[in-house]
Amino acid sequence: MKKIIFVFKRLFSMDYKNMFKTINKIHKRSKKSRLFLFFDIMYSSFKYQAGYTDYFLFYFEDLNKKQRSTYITRGINNNYIRLLNNRDYYKYFSDKVLFNKTFKDYIGRDYLDLTKTSITDFEKFIKVHKEIMVKEVEGSGGYGVSKVVIDKKTNVKELYKELLDSNRTLVEECVKQHKNMSKLCSSSVNTLRIVTITRNNKTNIMLKVIRMGNGVNAVDNFHSGGMYSIFNDEGIVTKPAVDREGNVHKIHPYTKVNIEGFKIPYYKEAIELVKKASKVIKEVSYVGFDVAITPSGPIIIEGNELPGYDLYQSKVHLNENKEGLKPLFDKIIYGRSEENEK
């Protein structure tokens, strides 16, 4: 029944223009007919709760039924979220100001809520912090985030008004990242995305990736031009990076740094920090935490109550059997390798 509901919702809400653009991309790389791909995408939507973007990102056209069944797709991820996260507590993550207040012991930076402060407070803040990040309170995907450098030419009154008018009312001091993380890409704060599931007061580290900017944008988010790779339990990056278009980067395209073999500083401390933070809001037990590495250790940038699933199942990063991560999640969530669906 859940599958049927998901499919019908998708059929009525689907962006068919983008779907056919995606089919063209898949046709180009696979040489399979567009008609076949259309019907296979429809089948995958029903059978695996996979949207056309899932199909594209996970190279479903190359996978058999057994392999496809191991992937966390959009519908599967939504099922996890409904089971593990109480919607009444989403606000502690979706509202960035409330998140900063709730997780104040873990964020490691000053901030200002312009809706609750005066221009005088703003002036005092930028006297101390000459570089600031301005954000929409409920923005996501890296959108609505920009860096502002304060100098003698800055018209403070105009800037204050502009931020209020554009709804970018969360102002934070810029995070100074560890020099080794800057070597990877200095134009953005390059973060770790660490996904946790807390069950019976035990925090399970489900997934961990390193995200990096592309050298152009001021954010490292995957949906804003960034790229990502995976790393092992020693904090060493073990695979090339991938961007949202599926381009593989062994060397960073802007900084020319080797991505494979990169050593993440303070990795173990980052894991411990996330484990502590995961128990602050127990009603939301499935969270994707974004962690920055500063010269003195890790800090949390934000938490995501609707954790993405596409970052972690790239063709480049999976094992040689081309298997997804659903069995790992099902074991932790349901206590067995697969959910017993009826």
Q: How many domains does the chain have?
A: 3
- Expressed as residue numbers, the domain containing 62 is 2-83
Specify whether 191 is located in the same domain as 253. yes
Specify whether 206 is located in the same domain as 261. yes
pLDDT of residue 340: 42
CATH code (residue 240): 3.30.470.20
Cα–Cα dist 87/208, whole Å: 24
Specify whether 66 is located in the same domain as 91. no
Specify whether 8 is located in the same domain as 59. yes
Q: Is residue 187 part of a domain?
A: yes
Specify whether 93 is located in the same domain as 242. yes
pLDDT of residue 342: 38
Q: Is residue 192 part of a domain?
A: yes
Helix (H, G, I), strand (E, B) or coil at 95: coil
Specify whether 121 is located in the same domain as 269. no
pLDDT digits (tens, 9 = 90+) for 23-47: 999 999 999 999 999 999 999 999 9
Amino acid at site 173: E
pLDDT digits (tens, 9 = 90+) for 322-336: 999 999 999 999 986
State CA 117 to chain mean position distance: 30
Q: Is residue 334 part of a domain?
A: no
Q: Is residue 331 part of a domain?
A: no
Q: Is residue 61 part of a domain?
A: yes
Q: Which CA distances in Å does 341 have to 2, 96, 164, 250, 330?
A: 9, 36, 48, 40, 12
Specify whether 182 is located in the same domain as 298. yes
pLDDT of residue 341: 43
Please, which residues bridge with residue 149 across strands? 131
Assigned token pair, 229 = 């790779």
pLDDT of residue 317: 83
CATH code (residue 169): 3.30.1490.20
Specify whether 202 is located in the same domain as 247. yes
Q: Is residue 137 part of a domain?
A: yes
Specify whether 279 is located in the same domain as 196. yes
Query: Which residues in the chain come in under a pLDDT of 50?
Result: 218-220, 338-342
